[in-house]
Chains A and B, each alone.
Chain A
Amino acid sequence: MGTGDIFGMPTAHIMASAMGGIRTAGDLVAWMQMSRRMKINEAKAYVAEKLGIDVIDLTNEEVMRQVREDLDIGIITSVAGSAKGIAAKWKIAELLDIQINSVNLFKEKLRL
């Protein structure tokens, strides 16, 4: 995206056509585009298989809210003690079988 006020440009695009980020599975599909150069349908199919759900449910809040909580990969609402940030990304890297640079650095600091 580019520029424009936050409501009229990015939020409008997100509502019209985007996957929904950590509210659903948008971040997971984005990781596959970034790490494996996957086109959108290939990336969705890969993530759906890893999650064990249908592709159509990747943006189904009612399904993804529970999937994310069960896998502890970060949920949109705030629950103390649940994984967010680097802890969630660590689990996402393992789930999707990808390398995430920030996670690799964090592991290195922990000497793991």
Chain B
Amino acid sequence: MGKRIFTRMGDGERIAMSPGKIKDDLLAGTNDAADRAGIPVLTPDDLELLFEIFAEPAKIVGVAPGEEVIVSDDAVATLFYLDQENCGQGLPLSRVQSILTYERACCADTLSTGHVDYTFKQVKPIVNFEKQDYYNTSLMTTAPFFYGSQPNMGIYFRPDGPFPNPADLFPAGKIKEALDAQEDAAAQLTRDMVYVSKQMYDVGCEGINFDTAASAGDADFFATLQAVSELKKKTQHMAIEVGMSSEFVMGMHGDITFDGQLLAGMYPHQQVKVVEAAGADIFGPAINVSVGESTPWNLARSVTFVKECVAVANIPVHPNVGMGVCGVPMFEVPPIDAVTRTSKALVLIGKADGL
């Protein structure tokens, strides 16, 4: 039996692959991304470097001194006290203690906080509490401190919200009503995002993170872009980061444009251009992971998307690298060998400005 290299499946299962099989999966992964998005495949040098990253025998790998990048996050700083459904550790700490521990023990480049029900609609009625907590914490933090929340337009529809549910209207043949419902929900979502963000700005918020954008499709993405655009006129000294929910903007509406571009069907290298046009400062692409494919396949695919996104971007790009995105296995305790290989590959080959 020839040489075997330990790696992971997309669900985290440890597997041993031959060097030839890893190279086959790297090629298949980059081809899949390039075919879907109409972007270049990774070069032979990129693929060789990616193979070397997988072939390193060490459990943990990393970039060389001088090649490091910035990490930003979506309320990771609060994980210490959160519960299992947030991948949290449940320590008996307050939110501020968790954030300061993340700054001074984990040494993150940026910090963040957010409500445990990480959604603008849920934050709106308790925004004064969030303002108190952000303000108090911001007096103690030294590193840049974000407030994060998700657009989550899906909960604006019945039974969770006030608007008719397109998932009921489309099957009933009520196409116009389904489109109108999404447009109405998007308008309300924009108002809520702007309201909450402006409230946070007024207590000194240094950065807002619109996390998991477009989870309900193109109208959700539109609402986020509109919110960015409006906020940039009112909150000059607050950075805005837009992180995506997946690699592809679903056309749940299908006919919504921003800056003259049709949003439905956009891939990361197109998403970043409208995010830039809206006025955001940092973009976070999210590339889906297939649990039935190997990490070499998933990571080659993710790096292909990210490399093109970074190449066309005029703003910093921080790919999302939590579980189940951009090559990290879909497992709540992500295997460190796979996580660090993802990290190294996205920085060295994808040329990411951060993670």
Residues of A at under 8 Å CB distance from B? 1-23, 26-27, 29-31, 33-35, 37-40, 43, 55-56, 59-60, 73-74, 76, 84-86, 88-89, 92, 99-106
- Of all chain A residues, the one with the shortest Cβ separation from B86 is A3
Chain A residues within an 8 Å CB radius of B67 = 17
How far apart are the CA atoms of A43 and B69 in the complex, in Å? 10
Chain A residues within an 8 Å CB radius of B352 = 40
Contact digits for B301-334, partner A, Cβ 8 Å, 1 yes 0 no? 0000000000001111000111111001000111
Q: How close is A105's CB to chain B, nearest CB, in angstroms? A: 4
Docked-complex contact A30 and B110, CB < 8 angstroms = yes
Q: How close is B151's CB to chain A, nearest CB, in angstroms? A: 16
Q: Which of B106, B140, B141, B204 contacts A106 (CB 8 A)?
A: B204
Q: How close is B144's CB to chain A, nearest CB, in angstroms? A: 5
* Chain A CB within 8 A of B166 CB: no
How far apart are the CA atoms of A26 and B353 in the complex, in Å? 12
Docked-complex contact A15 and B340, CB < 8 angstroms = yes
- Of all chain B residues, the one with the shortest Cβ separation from A89 is B142
Docked-complex contact A30 and B281, CB < 8 angstroms = no
Whether A33 touches B323, Cβ cut-off 8 Å, given contacts A86-B138, A104-B237, A105-B204, is no
Chain B residues within an 8 Å CB radius of A101 = 201, 204-206, 235, 237-238
Tally of B interface residues using CB under 8 Å: 77
How far apart are the CA atoms of A92 and B142 in the complex, in Å? 9
- Of all chain B residues, the one with the shortest Cβ separation from A85 is B140
Q: Which of A17, A31, A38, A76 contacts B68 (CB 8 A)?
A: A17
Docked-complex contact B323 and A84, CB < 8 angstroms = no
- Of all chain B residues, the one with the shortest Cβ separation from A35 is B239
Whether A102 touches B323, Cβ cut-off 8 Å, given contacts A1-B355, A16-B339, is no
Per DSSP, chain B at the interface is loop
Q: How close is B274's CB to chain A, nearest CB, in angstroms? A: 15
Docked-complex contact A30 and B344, CB < 8 angstroms = no
Docked-complex contact B333 and A4, CB < 8 angstroms = yes
* Chain A CB within 8 A of B19 CB: no
- Of all chain A residues, the one with the shortest Cβ separation from B146 is A34
Chain A residues within an 8 Å CB radius of B86 = 3
Q: How close is B4's CB to chain A, nearest CB, in angstroms? A: 24
Whether A33 touches B74, Cβ cut-off 8 Å, given contacts A101-B205, A104-B204, is no
Docked-complex contact B340 and A10, CB < 8 angstroms = no
Q: How close is A50's CB to chain B, nearest CB, in angstroms? A: 16
Docked-complex contact B354 and A40, CB < 8 angstroms = yes
Docked-complex contact B140 and A84, CB < 8 angstroms = yes
Top 10 nearest A-B pairs by Cβ distance?
Answer: A2-B322, A26-B109, A34-B239, A102-B204, A74-B142, A27-B143, A105-B204, A16-B343, A16-B62, A16-B340
Chain A residues within an 8 Å CB radius of B328 = 2, 4, 9
Q: How close is A75's CB to chain B, nearest CB, in angstroms? A: 9
Chain A residues within an 8 Å CB radius of B144 = 27, 30-31, 34
Whether A34 touches B206, Cβ cut-off 8 Å, given contacts A17-B347, A19-B109, is yes
- Of all chain B residues, the one with the shortest Cβ separation from A26 is B109
